[in-house]
A = this chain, B = another copy of it.
């Protein structure tokens, strides 16, 4: 009899919180949402938790430590009298979620690492420059999918930094030659501008992959320039409105051919 009484212990909410390493507030919450209610109450309304409640709480805490939501926990603790398969599926799904998160966090880490490197270099002179880098990143993300960005980065790595710089320089030359035509409004079927634009396109093509994927990436780049020429142009050494006019003009030249 006394042995039985010793085993059938009851816990107040504070005792349970201390015994399980949670807080009283969390236990109120579990009670509210029906995840873990005290099996008994005293006459005055104080919660009395039984040993069964304590065991349930340990299960709840263990499953939460695995990252499951309270709703998922309520699910497995309720509907699976001995359904291991439900549990397996839930844990597998949870693992899959975590792999996803780990991937995202890793990409973010690399980005932050790169940015911090740039900040430590002398290569980043002021906040404005840095912000412009960020803006450009943001615009890129709006127009290119993750895979497309990876492709572009890979392509740049293949070509090597020297080739990229040379392409940039040649592109600057092209812009320099084209701007006067824009201002003079040279007819869009003039062989001189057609030649310049075809060299322009060839220059861009070097950065895209071959085949259908490359075409889609090119189309995305085109949309980006059409929508944002004013904004992207600000990053360049010419007045933004001239760049807007230039992009529009180049588009008309392409259409004419």
| Chain A interface (Cβ < 8 Å from any Cβ of B) | 3, 6-7, 9, 19-21, 51, 54-55, 58-59, 61-63, 65-67, 80-84, 87-88, 91-92, 94-95, 98-99, 101-102, 105-106, 108-109, 111-113, 115-116, 119-120, 124, 126-128, 130-131, 134-135, 137-139, 141-142, 227-228, 230-231, 240-241, 244
Contact = CB atoms under 8 A, between A and B. Distances in A.
Contacts of A61: 138, 141-142
A9 to B, nearest CB: 8
Given A91-B115, A91-B116, 11 more contacts: A6-B241, A21-B142, A51-B231, A59-B138, A65-B141, A82-B126, A82-B127, A87-B127, A88-B116, A88-B120, A98-B105
Contact of A102 (B109, B111, B119, B130): B109
Count of chain copies: 2
Nearest to A63: B134
B98 A108 contact: yes
A238 to B, nearest CB: 14
